[in-house]
Amino acid sequence: MKTTANIWISKGVVEQQVVSVPDIPDDGLLIEVTANGICGTDLHLINTTPSSPLVLGHEIVGRIVAFGRTHPRTDAADAPLIEGDGIALFPWLPCLVCWGCRRFGPSATTCSNPFVYGIPPEALGLPPLARPTDPVELTGGFGRHLVVKPGTYVWKVPDDMPHEIAALLDPLAVAVRSVDVMKTAPGTWDEVIRPDSTAVVLGAGAIGLLVAMVLRSVGVTSIIMSGSRPSRLSLARDIAAEHVLDIHETEVDERRRYVLDRTHGRGADLVIDATNQPSALGEALGLVRRLGTVVEVGNIVGTGEKLTIDPAQDICQKNVRLLGVAANPPQSYSEAMALLARHDELPFGRLITGRHSFSELPAALADLAGDSVKVMLLADRK
């Protein structure tokens, strides 16, 4: 069987090629990819040089074409699966035998020998994939078909959920995890997930907007967001934040005064950096109150830029709880799928501002680099 795939072959170059679909492993699946969200990480990676040709795309939704001979035909929640069902994937396939897997369980970034759909492991500080470059393996959702490897966590897409909404599962799970790591027992000194808390979200891209939506779902409604692109700022005002600041119209000191003025001079209870700009972490540390919490989720892929902070003034003297987010267990995806099931009441669809066919990847990437929020590759887009 032949299929087409967009293959990242060199810096800035992606070619659509006809490739062979490999045999289905006994415990695996073959899916036809119906939707794949394009992540800022994809855009960043394409402008670097791959260690070998690769099919990118890790926000994957598809319809089951065929099961391997011994596949259990159930999803991660034990829901039965049949051919034709839609499924959304957990993009990390941990080995389950290394020290990290034994110590922490299956999770993104904890495994020292994982397979990651659509992302070269070396981009995440892991050893490169050991495989020949020819033929190119169908590794991600930028291809029209994908062989789902044994052991992959998948979730059945409800019949009433559009596949483009289901393709928000991965970024929404990142947002869920960013909020979950801040949760504490009630009444502790570091409790910040409270109805009376003020949150600041730096970055009004898809992750930042989804973080704000998750915060609202757990009762935090006083949210200040900052960003730069007009459509994202407009959407933030409509669906996510009480106050929105344009970083092109304000300086760091002005934004700090703005937050202090709205928190009686204390600073925000919690600040989430979702920008992929290292300097934003320094700004976050200046916005948080004493004994507050800062979450860094935006800088998962390094830019080479360094940041200078004063550990005494910025962290220790304020007793700031500083949390990085990369490890993300399947549980976050289960929580995210439960939120996506409420798509009729929660405005997830408004984040999708660009839709393209799989043959239009260059245009889709250009959209994401411009003033779009979330861009999708869709099978039914002509």
Task: Output the pLDDT for position 336.
Answer: 98
What would the mean pLDDT of 305-313 be, rounded to a whole number?
Answer: 92
Asked whether residue 108 carries a pLDDT value surpassing 90, the answer given is: no
Instruction: Give the neighbor-by-neighbor strand order of the sheet with 222-227.
Output: 243-246, 222-227, 198-202, 268-273, 288-296, 321-324
Regarding beta strands 145-148 and 29-38, do their DSSP bridges make them parallel or antiparallel, or are they unpaired? Answer: antiparallel
* Residue 66 token pair: 């065929």
Q: What is the pLDDT, as a whole number, of residue 288?
A: 98
Residues 29/67, Cβ–Cβ less than 8 Å: yes
Specify the pLDDT at position 120: 87
The rounded distance, in Å, linking the Cα atoms of 245 and 240 is 13
- Say what percent of the chain tops pLDDT 90: 86
Could you give the C-alpha distances from 246 to 204, 249, 255, in angstroms and in order?
A: 10, 5, 9
Q: What would you report as the CA-atom Rg of the chain, rounded to the nearest whole angstrom?
A: 21
212 phi/psi in degrees, rounded to 5: -60, -40
Mean pLDDT on 107-126: 85
Give every CB contact of residue 103 below 8 A, 6+ residues apart in sequence.
110
Q: What is the pLDDT of residue 359?
A: 94
Q: Which two tokens stand for residue 146?
A: 């994908």
Q: Which two tokens stand for residue 255?
A: 């934004």
- Note the pLDDT of residue 129: 65
pLDDT at 131 over 70: no
Both tokens assigned to 59: 């926000």
Residue 268 DSSP SS3: strand
Q: What pLDDT, on a 0 to 100 scale, did the predictor assign at position 87? A: 98
Specify the pLDDT at position 130. 62
SS3 277: coil
Q: Which of helix, strand or coil describes residue 369?
A: helix
Contacts of 346 (CB under 8 A, 6+ apart): 213, 217, 339
**Dist CA 200 CA 331 (whole Å):** 25
pLDDT, position 315: 96
In which band, very low, low, confident or very high, does the pLDDT at 343 lie, cut at 50, 70 and 90? very high
Distance CA 2, CA 212 (A): 42
Q: Count of alpha carbons within 13 Å of 163, Cβ hemisphere only?
A: 23
pLDDT, mean of residues 334-354: 97
pLDDT digits (tens, 9 = 90+) for 354-367: 999 999 999 999 99
Domains of the chain (ranges plus CATH)? 2-170+328-378 (3.90.180.10), 182-324 (3.40.50.720)
Provide mean pLDDT across the span 266-274: 98
Q: CA torsion sign, 369 to 371 to 376 to 378?
A: negative
How confident is the model at residue 135, as a pLDDT? Answer: 62
Cα 227 from Cα 45, distance rounded (Å): 22
Q: What local confidence, expressed as pLDDT, does residue 93 receive?
A: 94
Under DSSP, is residue 93 helix (H, G, I), strand (E, B) or coil?
strand
* pTM of the full structure: 0.95
Residue 61 above 80 pLDDT? yes
What does the pLDDT average to over 281-301? 95
SS3 3: strand
- Give residue 134's pLDDT: 52
pLDDT range class, residue 123, cuts 50, 70, 90: confident
- Is the pLDDT at 133 greater than 60, yes or no? no
**How much is the average pLDDT of 213-219?**
97
| Average pLDDT for the chain | 94
Where is average pLDDT lowest: 131-145, 168-182, 252-266? 131-145
187 and 164 in contact (C-beta within 8 Å)?
Answer: no
